[in-house]
Amino acid sequence: MEFFIDTANLEEIQEIAQWGILRGVTTNPSLIAKEGRDFRTVVQEITDLVDGPISAEVNSYDAKSMIEEGRELASIHKNIVVKIPMTEEGLKAVSVLSKDGIKTNVTLIFSLNQALLAANSGATFVSPFIGRIDDIGYDGLACIEEIVDAFITHGIETRIIAASIRNILHVNQSALLGCDIATIPYKVFKQMAHHPLTDKGIESFQKDWEQHTKKVENK
């Protein structure tokens, strides 16, 4: 499973990119707003940091405006993927943009039906939101499982991005279920890299090594 980072914060992207594990970036209007900077500039700067799909979301909701905005976003850089919300208007926009050869990521997906519609309209990626499904008392991972199974059964090539990831269990289960990509917040990446037994192990290795070098020096 590939890893994207779900943030518009350049420092976060830069830090995780140095691990050599980042294959792409996803943003959304809330994440861009959090940075308080110009949308186009932020997106452009992200393309300099990661050489892979960079999802930039449209901020309009009728097909005509989404298509115009999508074309403008795609002109920023070859790696831009236009993120479009899963609505009837969104499907119309995806269908036109995909015929233009523009890559799209259909976001705010909460069911298999929506994922199937998005894939059939020509979406390059679909983004089912695990955490937000869990938030309302349903099972976000079960939704991922259904989408993965149906796409495999029907040979659908649209790639599945597990989104709205809140913890390491979401990442591990998405991998086990066969999801193509997980877009992960910075905080969860940090959790993934750490384990208390690793820290404890390093601590005792360091202690033993110090004692050993002291003994050797005193001989």
Catalytic residue annotation? 83
Taking the least distance from each CB to ligand G3P, the nearer of 96 and 127 is 127
**Closest residue by beta carbon to ligand G3P:** 164
Q: Which residues pair with 83 in a beta bridge?
A: 57, 105
Residue closer to ligand G3P by CB (options 36, 196) is 36
Which CB sits closer to ligand G3P, 32 or 67? 32
How far is 147 from 60, CA to CA, in rounded Å?
27
Contacts of 103 by beta carbon, 8 Å cutoff, 6+ apart: 53, 74, 80, 81, 82, 124, 125
| Percent helix, percent strand, percent coil in the chain, to nearest 5 | 55, 20, 25
The nearest distance, CB 214 to ligand G3P, in angstroms, is 49
Least distance (Å) between residue 218 CB and ligand G3P: 56
Minimum CB separation from ligand G3P for residue 164, in Å? 3
Residue 76 and residue 201: Cα distance in Å, rounded? 47
Q: What does the binding site for ligand G3P look like in residue numbers (CB under 6 A)?
A: 6, 26, 28, 129, 131-132, 163-164, 183
